[in-house]
Amino acid sequence: MDNQRLFVWAAFGLLAFMTYQAWLQDYAPQQPPVPAVLEQPDSAQPAVPNIDELPALPTGADDMPVLGSDPSLEEEEVRSARTAKIVRVSTDVLEVEISTAGGKLQRAVLKQYPVAKDRPDTLVELLSTDEHPFGSLQSGLIGDPGDDEKYFTAELTTSATNYELGGADDIVVPLSWTNGRGVRIEKRLRFTRGSYRVDIEHRVINGSDAPWRVAEYSVLKRISREHERSMFDVDTYSFDGPIIFDGSKSEKLKRDDLLEGPYQIVAANGWVGGIQHHFLRTIVPEGSSEQRYDISAKGNISSATVFGPATTIRPGGEQVFSTTLYIGPKLQDQLAEIDPSLKLTVDYGFLTLLSNPLFWLLSKVFSIVGNWGVAIIFVTILIKMAFYKLTEKSGRSMAKMREIQPRMKALQDRYKDDRQQLSQAMMELYKREKVNPAAGCLPILIQMPFFLAFYWVLLESVEMRQAPFALWITDLSSRDPFFILPVIMGAAMLMQQRLNPAPADPVQAKVMQILPIVFTGFFAFFPAGLVLYWVTNTALSIAQQWYVNKVVAEEQKSRKNKGKDKGKNKDKVKHKDQKKDD
């Protein structure tokens, strides 16, 4: 196997894989523009189902509450939203606005996450009434349709309109409503210090003289638009849209599919959410009871609704319903505390099995060194140490190939007109010198999975979003602003090539000379953390190959000296024998 040719194809194959989607999107036929928002923010209220008759306690999919469309209901929601008060909640990480119309979360600002490094005062909004970042999250109850007032559109009462976390560990926002017939609902929203989860509890007290049937629901609405991928913007590489977990596996739902019709399933131990690069909004129902999930899209608004089973509350009885919401960055520790399966929202692609332990190792090293860039360097060293013996063998083979290159050239000149004889002579030379020409391919084949895994870890892990390293590198998840690291990487690759045997084929030799330039050009737009990994890995490879070359050269020199000494000893013995004969 021709080592140099395989190296070239492997390298170009790697680059093609990394840039295929970006270039395809840049040059593919453009989709027609998405029409303007069909539902204005003040009228885009959750499409709460119209239940003409509450079903019996469900035992399967057919007993779940049914979606419906009631124009009068929508008008009622809009009217109540315009007259509702706003309750503002401020924690150390969140700024939230809650509408007293059903207790809907209509605005959520992440205090610690600016939109861009150079715009620290412009913060990420995951829920908003504005058109572009539009989104809302509502959790409530569907009561007896005979009620004149509906809880999900009614004006809830509260003792205050501003809540500050202050020095407390958590804060609870109480809201309440009474239907006028003795049924009282107490809604409590709990916010915790340092956390992006919102625990919602509905306590239903049936003070009437008749049974009251009720079903819990939650609705997530957000903007849904087609976005073009670009190799100059890493945010466009990540999936943006609904994701659902059915208790066993997760599935990302494409916008075009939802425009053709809603996605509906019934599942236990599931959840539903909307993901984008680094951030997440999700609904996690409590308990193992079956829930109905309904996800749909209309225009550029998508909605995800979760329905729980209907429950009958007897006169004088009480019932508590609980749901957990998460509105924030994809912090894997916090997500795992709510539900381990929520870590699936961090999309590492087909290398998840490798990326997850790699991120775990990076996190552990970061907890010691306190810098993600330094953590990348240390993990690269650890990976290099783990594969040292394996790469040493291939390095020795490369070094031996370098030593026997003059003899290979002589064979090529001798058998230039007889390729079969040349191939046979080369194989004999490899066998005699114990050289494996394919062994040099091993390092690049080993590095490729780790390279791709590192790429997705750096791209998807919000922990490294806008994380500084040193000097001019202020964001490891975006490209080097001055392209210094890619240039260093190109120079290191050129130096590494000089330590390896040059290809015998002149065409391959020219391609290998151009390869560092090509890599530099592509890596110029990759995350700086990824380039830092490749620079560190290349530097370690150079040091290892230089050392191996030196050891092999000394071994070859010692071998030649032994051969000369052996020849001299033979001459001495022969000279003594001649004297005896004389």
Token pair, residue 437, equals 């020409």
Rounded CA separation 27/24 (Å):
5
Question: Residue 48: which of 239, 294, 406 has the closest Cα?
Answer: 294
For 39-73, the DSSP string reads S-TTT--------SSPPSSPSSGGGS------HHH
Token pair, residue 380, equals 């690269």
> Is the separation of the CB atoms in 479 and 528 below 8 Å?
yes
Rounded CA separation 441/439 (Å):
5
Rg (C-alpha) for the chain, rounded Å, is: 33
**DSSP H or E run through 282:** strand 279-285
Q: How many CB atoms lie within 10 A of CB 278?
A: 23
Rounded CA separation 117/113 (Å):
9
pLDDT of amino acid 369: 92
Rounded CA separation 336/331 (Å):
9
Give the predicted TM-score (pTM) of the model. Answer: 0.75
pLDDT of amino acid 46: 37
Token pair, residue 407, equals 């003899």
Torsion angle, alpha carbons of 376, 534, 491, 13, to 10: -170
> Is the separation of the CB atoms in 246 and 265 below 8 Å?
yes
pLDDT of amino acid 53: 42
Question: Residue 395: which of 307, 403, 569 has the closest Cα?
Answer: 403
Phi-psi region of 544 (alpha: psi -120 to 50; beta: other; left: phi over 0): alpha
pLDDT of amino acid 479: 83
> Is the separation of the CB atoms in 283 and 304 below 8 Å?
yes
Question: Residue 213: which of 281, 312, 130, 103 has the closest Cα?
Answer: 312
Rounded CA separation 174/416 (Å):
89
Token pair, residue 21, equals 């989607």
Going from the N-terminus, what domains does the chain have, and what CATH number goes with each?
A: 37-347 (2.70.98.90), 355-565 (no CATH)
* DSSP letter assigned to residue 307: E
Question: Residue 433: which of 460, 401, 458, 463 has the closest Cα?
Answer: 401
Rounded CA separation 276/514 (Å):
37
pLDDT of amino acid 556: 64
Q: What are phi and psi of 356, to 5 degrees?
A: -60, -50
> Is the separation of the CB atoms in 267 and 293 below 8 Å?
yes
Token pair, residue 244, equals 């659902």
Token pair, residue 103, equals 């207790």
Per this entry, what is the length of the chain?
582
Rounded CA separation 7/17 (Å):
15
Rounded CA separation 468/135 (Å):
30
Rounded CA separation 534/384 (Å):
12
* DSSP letter assigned to residue 82: H
> Is the separation of the CB atoms in 305 and 293 below 8 Å?
yes
Rounded CA separation 120/145 (Å):
48
> What are the start-end ranges of the H helices in 371-440?
372-386, 388-403, 405-414, 419-433
Largest separation between any pair of C-alpha atoms in the chain: 136
All residues at 6 or more sequence positions from 270 whose CB lies less than 8 Å from its CB, including other chains:
244, 245, 246, 247, 285, 291, 293
> Is the separation of the CB atoms in 297 and 304 below 8 Å?
no
Q: What are phi and psi of 574, to 5 degrees?
A: -65, -40
Rounded CA separation 417/177 (Å):
95
Token pair, residue 283, equals 């609904």
Rounded CA separation 485/243 (Å):
36
Average pLDDT per consecutive 10 residues, the chain (582 residues; last block may be shorter): 43 50 40 35 38 37 39 42 80 93 91 87 89 83 60 79 92 89 90 95 90 88 70 62 89 85 89 90 87 87 88 90 94 92 86 87 92 91 81 68 70 74 76 66 70 80 86 85 88 79 62 78 83 88 79 68 59 55 54
> Is the separation of the CB atoms in 242 and 221 below 8 Å?
no
Rounded CA separation 190/170 (Å):
7
